[in-house]
Structures are given as structure tokens and as C-alpha cells.
Amino acid sequence: MLDAAVLAAPPCDTTAPVVPLARQAWLLAKNDLRQELRDLELVLTAAFFTLVVLVMFALAFAALPAADQTLAVPGMLWLAVAFVGALTLTRIFDREREADTLRAVLTWPVDRVAIYFSKLGVTLLVITGCGALLMPALGLLFPAAEVFWQRPLDAAALLVLGCLAYAAVGALFAAGLATASGKNVLLSVILYPLTSPALIFALVSTRALLEGHAQFHTYLGQLAALDAVLVAVASWLFEPVLLGSNARPAERRPSARAKRTP
Amino acid sequence: MIKHRLPLLFFAVAALATPYSVQRIFLHTGIEKKMGTVQKIFYFHVPLAWIMMALGITCGVAAAIQLRKAATGRSRMAESLSIAAGELVLVTGLGVLITGPIWGHATWGRAWTWDARQVSTGLLWLVFAAFVLLRRYGAAGSERLAAALAVFGAVDVPVIYYAVKIWKTTHPTTDVVGSLPAQMWNSLWPALGALVCLTVGVLLVRIRQEQDAAELDDAWIALDDRGRALTLGGAP
């Protein structure tokens, strides 16, 4: 848990020159990316996991008839994205947690929402990167998914919008778990039910793309609208979830009596 | 005094309205031609679904107030309301998820068709199940996560409402209720009233219990701190 001094600290140094939110987020994300480039831990782990999942899907579903592939490929794509996303999100705040640098980040003269956008950006980059490996590979392995090669712009837009919905919710709760004394295993319990509506939108859109459905762009628009709602709600909730402004401090929760009883 | 008696008032109204509603549904409302007697479940399924969605939104709004407001009485009241409403979403949601498939089995031939509204209702129930689990078993600090979870659960409610309009679905559209004959409407209102009174009564009791538990916590911790200070020889 963060100490009271950090919780009470103002989010910004009012005497410092005003830096736009986007630039603050970019500077924080650049810092994360620079650290990632030094050891490539997150990228290599996520890419390797994607490869393993892909091989398993290929072994299990290679003999599927083309009609069934149209139903199975969207599931393969978004299930893999959900797993890779959970893997990425469990690590996204680990550097801050392990080196105890979250306290330092919170005392920087930055808007706290910029921390959310920086983590969202890095998560999105990693998940979309893995999706960019998955989509062409699925297109090569399954004839029904060749459309990923034939309509790359539509496929890319679908991938980015689907991953954004997942990352928007995930980055918020990963931040909450980084400062709570709970374990990261809770992330999966929270993440999968919450991201399911977004994943269903993405599944429906992917199926529409594979079937050449005329309403594909309408579905894409709905997914974009859902992204906007999720990012807006998550950025609005980020500061209280990260720091808390609760009426009852943590030690005064209903279980306090039980925990403090000798 | 009124505050303590208010739940009793709601329970009393529910106790009167429930038998009236049941006799009205089964004895004074005609049997629907296509679906037969099983259509009677509509008078319980639809009000439960409406109450579930209203409670989901209530829980989300209360959780947002809890998160955004600093340590004030309003925040504590909001926290109690969000816990009570979240638990009742689970109960009413269970009712919806039981009555819906019974009706679906008679109408569509299958209890569960993976219809958009069925899936989104199931997901909403899962989100609030995660909320209750986090509130009950989460470590220190997890109440913030639970509150954020409830806010996203409330965002899911409009998705459920519009699911039948956005996606192809076998579920009746939201316009069906509006086109009901007057006799069915007149039977739906008492059923809705009885269930709303029962829900509000339970909600008020649970809010009171949560507030009492919080006050008891504060008193116990203050006493414990004072005892420790005296043991260490410091000022009380």
C-alpha cells in the first residue's frame, strides 16, 4: 500500500511548466519502452506465448472443414489475445512494484491520468504486436482466414479496436492491483468477465469480416464506440482506483476486527 | 424511527401485493394462444429483469460516488448502497437466469440458445459475482477494485438492453412489452410492484446492516488502539 504522504501529495507541481497530457503520457510510455528494449522481457514472453498458442490451434483445428473454420478462427484469435493480454497486464506494473518506484512516479509533476495512458499505450502495443503475428499466421494456416491477407486495412482496424477495448479495462485493474495488497491472480477473475462484452463485439466483427458481411463496418463502428466509453470510464476512475479516496481506510474494512483479533 | 420502520412498510406492501398479483396472473388473465400457460412466467421474468438492471445501475452509480468522493458520510453511505445493490443483482439475476430458460424452453424448444441478451445477462451476473467475491474475500485495498468493477458492470446494462436491437437475436425485442394487451399490462403492474417493494425492503435492511458493521468496526478499532496505547504506557 502507498503511504499517506504519497496519497496526500498533489498530482502536479503547480510551479512547473504545463506539459500537455499527451506529451506526459508519451514521455512515461517512452521510459517504459526504453526499459523494455533493454531486456525485451515482456515482448519476447508474449510473442513466445502467442507462438505456442498458434501451434496448439494449428494442431487441434487444421483438419476443420472451411465452413467450421469461419466459426472457429474468430474464437482462436480473440482467445489468444485475451490470454496474451492477461500475461502482459500481470507484468505491466511489475517494474514499479518490484523496484518500489510507483511512489516516485506518483510524486512526479505529471497528471496521474497520464500514467494510465502510458500503461494503456504500452499494453496496446504489446497485445497488438502479438495480434499482428496471429492474424497473418491464421490466414496462412486456415483457408477461411485468408481474408486477413486480402483486406489488411480492415483486419488491422479490427485488431487495434478489439485490443484497445481489452487494454483499456486491463490497464485500470492492473494499476489497482499494483497498489492493493491483493495478488495478481485476481486480475483474471476481474478481467475476463469485464472484457467479455468487448471480446464478443470483436468476435462478431471478425466473423462478419470472414463472411464478407455487408454490416462489417457497422460492427467496427460499434466496437469503436465501446472503446471510447471504456477508455473514458477507465481514465475517470484511474486516480481513485490507484490511490483510493475511500471513507474507510483499508485496515477499517469489515474484516478488520477478525484480522486484528490476537 | 421512520428509518427503522421503512423496510417493514415495504415488506408489508409486498406481503399484500404478492397474493393479489399471483391470483390476478393465474385466475384473471387469459392464457396466451401461442405459448399457453408457460407464458405466465413472463409476469415474473420481466419485472425481475427490470429490477436487476435498475440495481446494476444503482450499484455502479453508488460505487462511482464511493470512489470519487473523499472520506465523507456520503461516500460511506454510497459504499453501503453499492454492496447491498450488488448482492441483490446476484439474487435477481439468478431469478432472471432461471425463469428465462424455462420460458425459452417452452417457446424456442431450447433453454439456452446463446442469444445475445442471454449471454450479456449472464456476463452481467458474472461481473457482479466477481464484485461480491472481491468485497467479501479481497485483501486490503480491493474495495477500490470492486467499486471500479461495479461501475463497468453498470456500463454493461445498456449493452444488455440494446443487445436485441444491435445483434440478430431470438429474444423478443424491447418493443414487445409496449404492445401488450391491456389485460396483461394490468397483471404486470401488481407483479412489478410486489417485487419492487420486496427488493427495496431487503435493500434497506442490507444498507443498515453494512452501516452498523462499519460503525462497529470503527468503535472496535478505536477501543483496540486505546488498549494498545495504554499497554505501551503512552497517552490514551
Lowest pLDDT segment from A212-216, B60-64, B132-136, B176-180 = B176-180
Q: What is the mean pLDDT of residues A113-130?
A: 92
Pick the closest to residue A139 from A125, A113, A159, A165 (CA basis).
Answer: A159
B36 phi and psi angles, rounded to 5 deg: 80, -155
Q: What is the mean pLDDT of residues A13-41?
A: 79
Report the C-alpha gap between A113 and A237 in whole angstroms: 9
Q: What is the mean pLDDT of residues B4-15?
A: 90
Q: Give chain A's mean pLDDT.
A: 81
Q: What is the mean pLDDT of residues A80-84?
A: 92
**In this predicted structure, what is the pLDDT of residue A18?**
65
Helix, coil or strand: residue A146: coil
**In this predicted structure, what is the pLDDT of residue B72?**
56
**In this predicted structure, what is the pLDDT of residue A254?**
47
Residue-wise pLDDT tens digits, A220-260: 998 999 899 999 999 988 888 887 644 344 444 445 555 44
B30 has a pLDDT exceeding 80: no
Q: Inter-chain contact B141–A189, Cβ cutoff 8 Å?
A: no
Interface of A with B in 231-250 (CB under 8 A): 233, 237, 240-241, 244-248, 250
Report the C-alpha gap between B103 and B49 in whole angstroms: 14
B201 has a pLDDT exceeding 90: yes
Say if CB B54 and CB B220 are below 8 A apart.
Answer: no
Say if CB B44 and CB B191 are below 8 A apart.
Answer: yes
**In this predicted structure, what is the pLDDT of residue A164?**
94
DSSP string, B125-171: HHHHHHHHHHHHH--TTHHHHHHHHHHHHHHHHHHHHHHHHHS--SS
The helix (H) or strand (E) run that includes residue A40 is none
Q: How far is CA A92 from CA A27, A89, A97, B3, B158, in A?
A: 16, 5, 10, 47, 31
Q: What is the mean pLDDT of residues B32-39?
A: 75
Interchain CB contact of B115 with A (< 8 Å):
no
Angle A245-A241-A42 from CA coordinates, rounded to 5°: 150
Interface of B with A in 154-183 (CB under 8 A): 155-156, 159, 166-167
Interchain CB contact of B79 with A (< 8 Å):
yes
Domain boundaries along the sequence of chain A: 19-244
Pick the closest to residue A29 from A128, A119, A125 (CA basis).
Answer: A119
Residue of B nearest to A250 (CA): B140
Q: What is the mean pLDDT of residues B60-75?
A: 77
Compute the CA torsion angle B145, B149, B150, B154 (nearest 10 deg). Answer: 150
Residue A80 pLDDT level (bands cut at 50, 70, 90): very high
Task: Find chain B residues with C-beta within 8 A of A194's C-beta.
Answer: 127, 130, 149, 152-153
Tell me which amino acid residue B7 is.
P
Q: Give chain B's mean pLDDT.
A: 83
Domain boundaries along the sequence of chain B: 9-231
Q: What is the mean pLDDT of residues A7-32?
A: 70
Residues β-bridged to residue B36? B32
Interface of B with A in 184-203 (CB under 8 A): none
Q: What is the mean pLDDT of residues A168-176?
A: 87
B225 has a pLDDT exceeding 70: yes
Report the C-alpha gap between A168 and A164 in whole angstroms: 6
Helix, coil or strand: residue B36: strand
> Which tops the pLDDT comparison, A43 or A94?
A43
pTM: 0.79
Interchain CB contact of B222 with A (< 8 Å):
no
Q: Inter-chain contact B141–A241, Cβ cutoff 8 Å?
A: no
Interface of A with B in 78-107 (CB under 8 A): none
Q: What is the mean pLDDT of residues A144-154?
A: 90
The percent of residues in chain A predicted with pLDDT above 90, rounded, is 31
Task: Find chain A residues with C-beta within 8 A of B210's C-beta.
Answer: 254
**In this predicted structure, what is the pLDDT of residue A1?**
47
Residue-wise pLDDT tens digits, B148-183: 999 988 887 787 667 666 666 556 655 556 666 777
Q: Inter-chain contact A248–B214, Cβ cutoff 8 Å?
A: yes
Q: What is the mean pLDDT of residues A212-227?
A: 89
> Which tops the pLDDT comparison, B141 or A34?
A34
Pick the closest to residue B66 from B80, B48, B84 (CA basis).
Answer: B80
**In this predicted structure, what is the pLDDT of residue B94?**
95
**In this predicted structure, what is the pLDDT of residue A215?**
85
Most confident of A169-183, A206-220, B24-38, B194-208: B194-208
Lowest pLDDT segment from A86-95, A135-144, B134-143, B144-153 = B134-143
Cell of B60: 455502479
Task: Find chain B residues with C-beta within 8 A of A244's C-beta.
Answer: 141, 144
**In this predicted structure, what is the pLDDT of residue B136?**
82
Exposure string (b/e) for A124-153, b if CB count within 10 Å is 16 or more?
bbbbbbbbbbbbebbbebbebbebbeeeee
The helix (H) or strand (E) run that includes residue B76 is helix B73-108
A17 has a pLDDT exceeding 60: no
